[in-house]
Amino acid sequence: MNHRAWMRSQGFTSEVFDGRPVIGIATTWSELAPCNVHLHRVAESVKRGVWQAGGFPLEFPAMALGETLLRPTAMLYRNLLAMEAEELMRANPLDGVVLLSGCDKTTPGLLMAASSVGLPAVMVTGGPMLNGKYQGTDVGSGTAVWRWEEDLLAGRMTEQECAFAEGCMARSNGHCMTMGTASTMASMAEALGMQLPYSATWPAVDARRYETAQRAGQVIVDLVENDVTPDKIMTRAAFENAIRVNAAIGGSTNAVIHLLAIAGRLGVPLSLDDFDTLIRDVPTLVNLQPSGKFLMEDFCYAGGLPAVMRELGGLLHTGALTVTRKTVGENVGDAPCWNRDVIMPLDQPFQAAGTGTAVLRGNLAPDGAVIKQSAASPHLLKHRGRALVFDSPEAYHQVAADQDLEVDEDTVLVIRYCGPKGYPGMPETANVPLPAKLLKRGVRDMVRICDGRMSGTAYGTVVLHVAPEAAAGGPLALVRTGDWITLDVPARTLTLDVPDDELATRRAAWTPPPRLATRGWTWLYTEHVQQANTGCDLDFLTGASGSQVGRDSH
Ligand code: FES
């Protein structure tokens, strides 16, 4: 009576207590997260579908992580969202959940939570913004910012032009409309089988986004009635599909970290090396920024993710189960492609097989590092240069405009102490703009190495996720300006050309950086966060807890 009486304060009729499935709708809506600000309306569509199918929908807020405003980086809080959502799903009397996400970290955060809880779950991402439009051309969110920043530094763009361009990029509700991290993770959720076909690509303002959300409301009731839990969908085969789809769409390197973390929650064996070996025979099919030309709206009209998955055909596990309770093969078998300039055929791909994310190892990254080959300059994939070392991106930015900076196009920029413990939160600082001196000479790329991440909307020859990070005592901490570094992507190596005995001497003299926090979330995070090569989850959050909390006292 207690439970029912208080719920009836919201005006529900008594039939909602007749034993029908209670469906939680976790929404990461917030005015501080512009990419997710329309999720309230998406939730209304989900509710319609739940009611239609005979369920009882209840919307609840989960931490909204807005990539553009959160300091020092939204990634610091991905695990906090995952922990909060997990406990809300466990502590409330829910039978199933619909996960509403959009901005970069909200999708993996909610998938991690649902994986640990194990209730039936369906994801509905919020969809990309409409294409940006500036001076008669399409501009991609994020990607254009990096370019305009360099154009401003190089004197190719004025402050006034920049201010005007600012209003031309984000024209509607939705997340970034390049194949950045948000679009990538939405695609990963669909490739994993956790959201409905086409759900990743409908623009946020498209009526079909809301139609799909309503359908998701029906689907979650069906999954509850048939006890289809996330572990039955997100199997090793599903992760292999996601990794291969990520290569085909030219997706973000952030998918590596997030997929490893989700797999860790489910106990699915997945390693950093899987991201290299599984994609060697997968070409990039989708011509989207930042690696290519088009944007998510074009991708949607060209046929969306199902068209890509159909094209990949035998490269995928087509028997993998999805939230439709059909297989991948059944979902995408007839998916049409309407524009071969955007989604290219397997035998005439946008980029050849093996040009996706590569995993590097060597004495500079014993536990691995990654590079997005499709966003790099081919002539720099084999490169030897002298290091120019900075202990923070801020230290680099202070001198980036200095015309006397001792740097040339062969220099290897090392930006360190940007890892999960070091910054903290592993920010997207790896793709620092080139020194103004080089930009003015027309240089557009150089090798950069960092223990941080790179925005999925960015490009350049940037070695990322170096593990162990400098703050954890990784060899990156021992590099000195003037050292020779060899990058050999075809051989998958990253080498600091310094003798072992010299490195041992430097290690003996190295002291760890001071603690960044002595209390609160940042302390908890830096004490327990794991390295990039295993997904940056907290050590005590990996694995599952189930949907029950303690003893049922009521
Ligand atoms: Fe939210 Fe790019 S800033 S998706």
Peptide bond before residue 57 is cis, with ω within 30 degrees of 0: no
Helices (runs of H) and strands (runs of E) counted in the chain: 19, 14
**pLDDT higher than 70, residue 30:** yes
Burial state string for 467-499 with b = 16 or more CB within 10 A and e = fewer than 16: bbbbbbebbbbbbeeebebbbebeebebbbebe
- Is there a contact between 243 and 256 (Cβ–Cβ < 8 Å)? no
User: Averaged over 146-165, what is the pLDDT?
Assistant: 85
Ligand 1 near 70 CB (within 6 A): no
Confidence at residue 554, expressed as pLDDT on a 0 to 100 scale = 41
- pTM > 0.85: yes
Ligand 1 near 428 CB (within 6 A): no
CA of 79 to the centre of ligand 1 (A): 18
**Which amino acid appears at position 416 of this protein?**
R
Q: Phi and psi for 440 in degrees, rounded to 5?
A: -65, -25
**pLDDT higher than 50, residue 160:** yes
Burial state string for 42-56 with b = 16 or more CB within 10 A and e = fewer than 16: bbbbbbbbbbebebb
Ligand 1 near 493 CB (within 6 A): no
- Rounded CA-CA distance 460/374 in Å is 9
pLDDT tens digits, one per residue of 170-216: 999 999 999 999 999 999 999 999 999 999 999 999 999 999 999 99
Best of 30, 75, 103 to mutate for ligand 1, by most ligand atoms within 8 A of CB? 103
- Is there a contact between 102 and 213 (Cβ–Cβ < 8 Å)? no
Query: Model confidence at 142, in pLDDT bands (50, 70, 90)?
Result: confident
Confidence at residue 143, expressed as pLDDT on a 0 to 100 scale = 80
pLDDT tens digits, one per residue of 67-78: 999 999 999 999
Rg (CA), the chain: 23
Question: Considering the chain, what is the average pLDDT of its residues?
Answer: 95
User: Where is average pLDDT lowest: 133-147, 215-229, 415-429?
Assistant: 133-147
User: Percentage of the chain surpassing pLDDT 70?
Assistant: 99
Confidence at residue 552, expressed as pLDDT on a 0 to 100 scale = 53
Query: Model confidence at 551, in pLDDT bands (50, 70, 90)?
Result: low
68 CA closest ligand 1 atom index: 3
**pLDDT higher than 70, residue 305:** yes
Ligand 1 near 176 CB (within 6 A): yes
pLDDT tens digits, one per residue of 465-520: 999 999 999 999 999 999 999 999 999 999 999 999 999 999 999 999 998 899 99
CA of 125 to the centre of ligand 1 (A): 12
User: Where is average pLDDT lowest: 67-81, 218-232, 423-437, 517-531?
Assistant: 423-437
User: Averaged over 11-21, what is the pLDDT?
Assistant: 95
Ligand 1 near 327 CB (within 6 A): no
Nearest CA to ligand 1 atom 3: 67
CB count, 10 Å around CB of 543?
12
* Sign of the CA dihedral running 381, 384, 387, 388: negative
Largest CA distance in the chain: 76
- Rounded CA-CA distance 450/466 in Å is 6
67 CA closest ligand 1 atom index: 3
CA of 321 to the centre of ligand 1 (A): 29
CA of 182 to the centre of ligand 1 (A): 6
Confidence at residue 553, expressed as pLDDT on a 0 to 100 scale = 40
User: Averaged over 299-307, what is the pLDDT?
Assistant: 98
Nearest CA to ligand 1 atom 1: 103
Of the candidates 184, 180, 183, 254, which has an alpha carbon nearest to the alpha carbon of residue 465?
254
- Rounded CA-CA distance 541/329 in Å is 33
